[in-house]
Structures are given as C-alpha cells and as structure tokens.
Amino acid sequence: MATMHAVKDAVSAEAETAFAVRVDGLDVTFGEGETAVTALRDVNVDIPEGALVTMLGPSGCGKSTLLRAIADLVPASRGEIKVHERTPEEARKARDFAFVFQDATLLPWRSAIDNVRLPLEVGNPGPAHADPMELLELVGLKGREKALPGELSGGMRQRVAIARALVTRPRILLMDEPFGALDEIARDNLNEELLRIWTETGTTILFVTHSIPEAVFLGQKVLLLAAHPGRVKEYMTVDLPYPRQLPVRDTVEFIKITAHLRKMLEEC
C-alpha cells in the first residue's frame, strides 16, 4: 500500500498535467437582476488525478454549488470547468464521475442490490462495470442485498449509495456531505472504509464536509471556501501519511492542522 502511494506521488510530480478536474475562473450566479445571488466568484482549483480532496467552509459558502457545477447539475455563469479535459456535460454522458448525495436517495421500492444496479439500467452505462454483488461486499453489506432501504439503517443506506456510485467504475467520486446525517460511530466507520475503498480503487474523490476533523482525517488536500461570495480561501496539503487510522486524530500534528483550519474558518 505504501509503495502504491509512492508511485502515485512520483507520477504526479513527474507529469504535472494529470488533473482529474480543473476549475478556471468559475462564477456561478443564481437568478437575475436585483435578486441575483453570487454563489461562487472566480474559483480556481485543480484536483490531481487519484487525489482525495476534502472541501470545507461555512454553510452557504457554495460547496454544494461547486460540486454540482462539476457534475453538470448547475451551469457555470463564467469561467470554465474541465473534467478529464472534457466539459462536465461530456464527462457526465461518459459516466466519468458519480455523485453521492447527503441523503442516500435510494429508490425505496428497490432492494439494496437493485439500487446498486440502477446506474446500469439507465442512460449509457458503458461496458466497463463492476459486479454489484462484489460492491455490496466491499461496503460491508454482504447478506443484506435483498433488504429494502426502509429496512436498513442510515449508515447502511449510505453504504448502498456508495456501492451504487462505484458500479460504473467512475474515475471521479463527488460526495456532498455523504455522512453528514449519520451518528458519530457510523461516520467513523464509514470514514475508515472510504479510505480503504480509495486505496483499493484509485478513484479521485472530492468530498464535501462541514466537519473539520473529518476533512483532515480523510483529505490529502483540504480546500477551504469562504462565503459571500463563495471563493477559495486556502488549498492546503495535509501532511499525514496514509494509511491513516482513527487514533491519528489524537496526534499533535493532527490537532495542529485542525486548529489552523478552525482559525481560518472563523475568519471566513
């Protein structure tokens, strides 16, 4: 695993152009005239291929909007977004990325396994896809594949949503506060498992959270947004080696980083 990251680092150092997402001078404005709301102003961010970037910021600063603009759910008012050198629309049609929402958004009449299969039944799923059964196993839901969402806990539902997102083997995973509604223990478990999935699949992950410890625990890099208008305040690298386990949160280094981010957040 350590060697894998060494390779990763070497690659990104060698070929500077390997970016999964490039955001260049992005403005997003909702509405027109006097009531217009500028959600994002002049945002410039590069997400390296294979990176795990977490996004932090006060509520209403445009975290969801940035993620949704990359996912072609919200149009850019100005500037440009490139997802693997393509427009978000092209990337969406090519199933380049998958989205995980805050509430799992499972179809309640479909069993867990059928929810995981949904992306293969609509649009143009493409030939390369994972085995839904293996994915449920990967997220720790072996044996629950026939269960309806109503019979699963919040954490289990979110696991199904992650398996569903992975089924088309996307190169990028966009996650908007996926564990925000979970209790702390479920959230800790899923954080560790997300790191495991990231190392196993090599997927680029852009992860929105409002929890500073979560952002630092997961992220290779933390993107800090400020509000009114939404803009990049800081884009820092987290100097903690992987694989990370939960106790890392009690180390001095970890606490230093969270303290720094907390101070920056207060200034936002």
Partner 1 sequence: MADIAQSQASANERKSGSAWLAKSGDRLLPLLAAVGMLVLWQLIIWIFSIRPFIMPGPIAVLGAFIEDGPKLWLNFWLTFLEAALGFIFGNLIAILMAVAFVHNRTSERAFFPIAVFINTIPIIAVAPILVLIFGNGYSPKIIIAALICFFPTLVNMVRGLKAVNPATLDLMRVLSASDAEIFWKVRLQSSLPFLFAALKIAATTCVVGAIVAEWIGSNYGLGALILLASYNYHAPLLYASVFSASLLAVFLFAMVSFAERRMIKWKTPAVH
Ligand X SMILES: Nc1ncnc2c1ncn2[C@@H]1O[C@H](COP(=O)(O)OP(=O)(O)O)[C@@H](O)[C@H]1O
Question: Which residues of the shown chain bind ligand X in the complex (CB under 6 A)?
Answer: 30-31, 37, 39, 57, 59-65
Shorter beta-carbon distance to Mg ion: residue 60 or 75: 60
Q: How many CA atoms lie within 13 A of 6 on its CB side?
A: 3
Torsion sign, CA atoms 219, 179, 171, 70 = negative
In this structure, what are the phi and psi dihedrals at residue 52, rounded to the nearest 5 degrees?
-115, 105
Of 115, 201, 197, 192, the residue nearest 160 (C-alpha):
115
Q: For residues 194 and 91, give the distance between their C-alpha atoms in angstroms, rounded to a whole number.
A: 23
Torsion sign, CA atoms 202, 232, 22, 9 = negative
Q: Which stretch in 16-24, 64-72, 118-126, 127-135 sits in contact with Mg ion by CB under 5 A?
A: 64-72
Residues 116-145 that bind partner 1 (CB under 8 A): 118-119, 121-124
* Residues touching partner 1, count (CB under 8 A): 26
Q: Binding to Mg ion by residue 64, rule CB under 5 A? A: yes
Min dist CB 63 to Mg ion, Å, is 5
The interface partner of residue 158, options being ligand X, Mg ion, partner 1, none and the CB cut-off 5 to 8 Å by kind, is none
Beta bridge partners of 228: none
Min dist CB 152 to ligand X, Å, is 26
Min dist CB 16 to Mg ion, Å, is 31
Q: Binding to partner 1 by residue 235, rule CB under 8 A? A: no
Give 140's contacts (C-beta < 8 A, 6+ positions apart): 159, 193
Element containing residue 98 per DSSP (H, E): strand 97-100
Binding mask 247-266 for partner 1 (x = CB under 8 A): --------------------
The interface partner of residue 61, options being Mg ion, ligand X, partner 1, none and the CB cut-off 5 to 8 Å by kind, is ligand X
Binding mask 202-231 for partner 1 (x = CB under 8 A): ------------------------------
26 by Cβ neighbours in 10 Å (0-12 / 13-18 / 19+) ranks as: buried
Q: Under DSSP, is residue 165 helix (H, G, I), strand (E, B) or coil?
A: helix
- H helices of 122-167, where? 132-138, 154-166
DSSP type of residue 48: E
Q: Binding to partner 1 by residue 30, rule CB under 8 A? A: no
CA distances from 144 to 15, 196, 219, 234 (A): 43, 21, 30, 42
Of 258, 180, 256, the residue nearest 213 (C-alpha):
258
Min dist CB 64 to Mg ion, Å, is 3
Binding mask 50-89 for partner 1 (x = CB under 8 A): ------------------x--xxx----------------
* List of residues contacting Mg ion (CB under 5 A): 64
* List of residues contacting partner 1 (CB under 8 A): 68, 71-73, 92-93, 95, 97-99, 101-103, 105, 107-109, 118-119, 121-124, 148-150
